[in-house]
Amino acid sequence: MFPANTRILVLDDMMTMRKIVIKNLKDLGFTDIQDAADGNLGWDILNQSSPPIQLIISDWNMPNCTGLELLKKVRADERMKAVPFVLLTAEAETHQVMEAVKAGVSNYILKPFTPEHIKEKIEQTYKKTAGSAA
């Protein structure tokens, strides 16, 4: 599992959803969590964060810059292209999942979700990224 001090960025245009995700992350022991209401604000945080963000959990559907658009920006940036990126979404259509996979998404959390789903998906993401770093 990711260490408790992993720097996490949570993005969702709905404050209630951000609060739910953050509470779930805190319940899992994470202590360093930032949040933003859309991909543009998240991009600013990613570029200004020092030390850098180590895990991104983003809603797909947001105004200004969607989660998928942010994922593509992150993967195209040499400094952060390896940061694990989890999309949180109600979008389960095959073509959308395939588009996200093609763009380099690390994992998916489908809404509605339980705390167990979040824990399971974060653990899976850690195993994938730890395995690729080895």
**Residue 70: which H helix or E strand, with range?**
helix 67-76
**Two structure tokens written together for 73:** 């920006």
- Report how far residue 58's alpha carbon sits from residue 28's, in angstroms, rounded to the nearest whole number: 18
Is 125 part of a structural domain of the chain?
yes
* pTM for the full predicted model: 0.96
Identify which of 79, 85, 82 has the alpha carbon closest to the alpha carbon of residue 107.
85
**Which residues are bridge partners to 35 per DSSP?**
10
- Report how far residue 134's alpha carbon sits from residue 116's, in angstroms, rounded to the nearest whole number: 27
Indicate whether 97 pLDDT > 90: no
CATH code of residue 52: 3.40.50.2300
pLDDT tens-digit readout, 108-129: 999 899 999 999 999 999 999 8
Is 1 part of a structural domain of the chain?
no
Indicate whether 40 pLDDT > 60: yes
Query: Structurally, how many domains does the chain consist of?
Result: 1
pLDDT confidence band for 134 (50 / 70 / 90):
very low
Is 2 part of a structural domain of the chain?
no
